[in-house]
Amino acid sequence: MASPTITLVTVTPNPSAVGQSVTLTATVIPLGVGTPTGTVTFAITGGPTLMGTLVGGTTSVTATGLSVGTHVVAALYSGDTNFLTSTGTSAIVVVPASTTTSVMSSPNPSALGQPVTFTATINPVAPGAGTPGGTAIFVISGSGGGMFVRPVVGGVATLSLSGLGGGLHAITAIYNGDTNFLPSSGSGTHTVNPGSAATTTTVVSAPDPSVFGQPVTFTATVTANPPATGTPTGTVTFTVTGPGGTVTGSGTLSGGAATFTTSALDANDTAYTVTAVYNPDTATFLTSTGTDTHTVNRADTKITITSIPNPSTVGETVSYIAFVEAVPPGAGVPTGNVVTEINVMDQTVFFTSVALDSNGFTLFTDNAFPAGAYTVSGQYEGDTNFNQSPIDTDPHIINP
């Protein structure tokens, strides 16, 4: 006959902090001779159901992810051939985890009018774990400061200010806590240098889009950020980057604007990235960077077909010449091939594809055609920087 049992449950640690793993141990005590075997099912209110196998009458499982509060755990021994089932209960107390709050500012020091980002980072104190939420209060002393409430997302709260006055500012970040995490606070300082002002750089290009070979002018405008005033001086460095490479240049500010003109940009299927970096020549203003995009399309082309001499006589060598040029505002010398056909009554009697030379010309000769009226036609096939041309024709007579 099976013997009764008593199941005891212990919880370690108890209480625990949110995010901390908890070990549940069930000990099955026989009211008879022998050692109970089988399994124990742990049912946790507001938590998971876990199972452990008895070894020497004892089994342990680990519970994680329990929320703040009191959780009742019931351990049900399944029994075996020699021992009856039994149930033991206990309680798991989960308390909010302690936290630490640290605060920093960037850039530090900053200049008058320069945007400053304050960052409060909230971390749980071990053995607590998880990601704090809720809100944090930033307290910034001095001119332009104040009290600001910001949400805590992913354990981080941020605040941006651009109107801080010159001098030293005390910073305090107060984390208000949430359901799972206790409040905490951190402090620091931030310095605003009164001698330099932040700036903003914007850059544009014209024309945009352009075509290959067309001069493009990039204009950077640099302004002082309020409350600072004045007209920045110095230079601007331009960097134009695309899949085909990088073109750089510079310009000197006049009236807060600097320009750079280039026609060295290849046609691209994707836009160039334009970066303009302001380089101040005095301590009055701080550097800044502006970005834009610019598109360069393929330039249109024109082809001219000529045959010399024209008319010719049977057996005389004739030069068939094609000249391909860019259509303004495009510029440069096209590369690639020209397809040439010689036709009689719209019937092709000769076909060839000839590469252009470095000046945009292509040439082939022939003296084998019989007497008659011919039409010589040609079309440029295009390349990475130039579009396909329209077809051009030239009538040619071969006399007997």
Query: Residue 112: pLDDT above 80?
Result: no
Considering the domain architecture, whether residues 63 and 129 belong to the same structural domain is answered as no
Q: What is the pTM of this model?
A: 0.53
Contact status, residue 377 vs residue 392, Cβ threshold 8 Å: yes
- Given this model, what pLDDT does residue 83 score? 95
Domain range for 30 is 5-95
Helix/strand/coil for 209: coil
Q: Compute the CA torsion angle 36, 41, 44, 49 (nearest 10 deg).
A: 150
Query: Residue 329: pLDDT above 80?
Result: yes
- Given this model, what pLDDT does residue 279 score? 96
In 96-183, at which residue ranges do the beta strands (DSSP E only) sit? 99-106, 110-112, 116-124, 135-140, 146-151, 156-161, 167-175
When mean pLDDT is compared across 17-21, 176-180, 228-232, the lowest value belongs to 228-232
Considering the domain architecture, whether residues 81 and 113 belong to the same structural domain is answered as no
Distance separating the N- and C-terminal Cα atoms of the chain: 129
Considering the domain architecture, whether residues 260 and 342 belong to the same structural domain is answered as no
Considering the domain architecture, whether residues 285 and 204 belong to the same structural domain is answered as yes
List the CATH number of the domain containing 366: 2.60.40.1930
Considering the domain architecture, whether residues 87 and 49 belong to the same structural domain is answered as yes
Query: Residue 284: pLDDT above 90?
Result: no
- Given this model, what pLDDT does residue 321 score? 96
Mean pLDDT of 80-106: 97
Query: Residue 14: pLDDT above 90?
Result: yes
Percent of the residues in the chain that have a pLDDT greater than 90, as a whole number: 85
Query: Residue 345: pLDDT above 90?
Result: no
Domain boundary among 297, 319, 349: 297
Considering the domain architecture, whether residues 83 and 22 belong to the same structural domain is answered as yes
Considering the domain architecture, whether residues 58 and 148 belong to the same structural domain is answered as no
Considering the domain architecture, whether residues 145 and 181 belong to the same structural domain is answered as yes
Neighbouring-strand partners of residue 170: 189
Domain boundary among 129, 163, 194: 194
Number of domains in the chain: 4
| pLDDT interval class at 270 (50, 70, 90) | confident
Mean pLDDT of 220-241: 90
Mean pLDDT of 329-344: 94
- 3-state DSSP percent of the chain in helix, strand and coil, to 5: 0, 60, 40
Mean pLDDT of 88-94: 97
Considering the domain architecture, whether residues 266 and 317 belong to the same structural domain is answered as no
List the CATH number of the domain containing 68: 2.60.40.10
Considering the domain architecture, whether residues 211 and 229 belong to the same structural domain is answered as yes
- Given this model, what pLDDT does residue 123 score? 98
Whole-number Å distance between alpha carbons of 171 and 189: 5
- Given this model, what pLDDT does residue 383 score? 95
Domain boundary among 280, 297, 314: 297
List the CATH number of the domain containing 231: 2.60.40.1940
Contact status, residue 352 vs residue 364, Cβ threshold 8 Å: yes
Q: What is the DSSP letter of 165?
A: P
Q: Phi-psi bin for 178: left (phi > 0), alpha (psi -120 to 50), beta?
A: beta
Query: Residue 195: pLDDT above 80?
Result: no
Whole-number Å distance between alpha carbons of 322 and 340: 9
Mean pLDDT of 14-30: 97
- Mean residue pLDDT of the chain comes to 94
Considering the domain architecture, whether residues 223 and 190 belong to the same structural domain is answered as no
- Given this model, what pLDDT does residue 346 score? 77
Percent of the residues in the chain that have a pLDDT greater than 70, as a whole number: 100
Query: Residue 244: pLDDT above 90?
Result: no
Query: Residue 180: pLDDT above 80?
Result: yes
CA-only gyration radius of the chain, Å: 41
Whole-number Å distance between alpha carbons of 375 and 369: 12
| pLDDT interval class at 285 (50, 70, 90) | confident
Whole-number Å distance between alpha carbons of 109 and 172: 17
Considering the domain architecture, whether residues 279 and 350 belong to the same structural domain is answered as no
Mean pLDDT of 140-149: 94
Mean pLDDT of 122-144: 95
